[in-house]
Amino acid sequence: MLGMNDMTSELERGPAAGLWRGAVVKIPTVYGRLTLLSGLRNENTGRYEHHGLSLRYGDETATRVLEQSHWEIFQRWLAQPLEEKKRDLAAYWSGLEQSQPDLVAAWLRLRPYRQLVPAAAREAERELFWRDCDVLLEVFRIECGVDAPDPDE
């Protein structure tokens, strides 16, 4: 597999990357983009799959573009200050049907953000992402008045 830096120059210039990036920027939050991109990764193979991109550019190019996009968005999230991450996550939640307290309670049980990390992430990046999400979730829990989960459950 190419390293992330090796892929960047190839993908930034290609038509598949331009088309894909144009679609991704329509998603208003960084967290929403992470959710989309991680959802395109096949959990059984680790390969990214997008039928439209694959038809137009082939499976290999589609996979590389999606993998690179996931990496870039993940790095963008990590680089944001915690307060900006909080605003981004609140904006993401505002686009969902559930209330913020219901989302907080569900996330405390399910921890869905643990599936959003790209496979190429180093352990320190993975841990930083998870800890930031844990901290944000605790802040939202307190703000929303949601009870802390029972550690015995």
% of the chain exceeding 70 in pLDDT: 82
Spatial distance between the Cα atoms of 124 and 127, rounded to a whole number of angstroms: 5
Is 87:140 a contact under the CB 8 Å cutoff? no
Is 20:65 a contact under the CB 8 Å cutoff? yes
Tell whether the model's pLDDT for residue 5 goes beyond 50.
no
The domain limits of the chain are 4-144
- pLDDT confidence of residue 7: 42
Spatial distance between the Cα atoms of 109 and 103, rounded to a whole number of angstroms: 10
Q: For residue range 90-132, list pLDDT tens digits in order.
A: 999 999 999 999 999 999 999 999 999 999 999 999 999 999 9
Q: Which pTM was predicted? A: 0.83
- pLDDT confidence of residue 13: 54
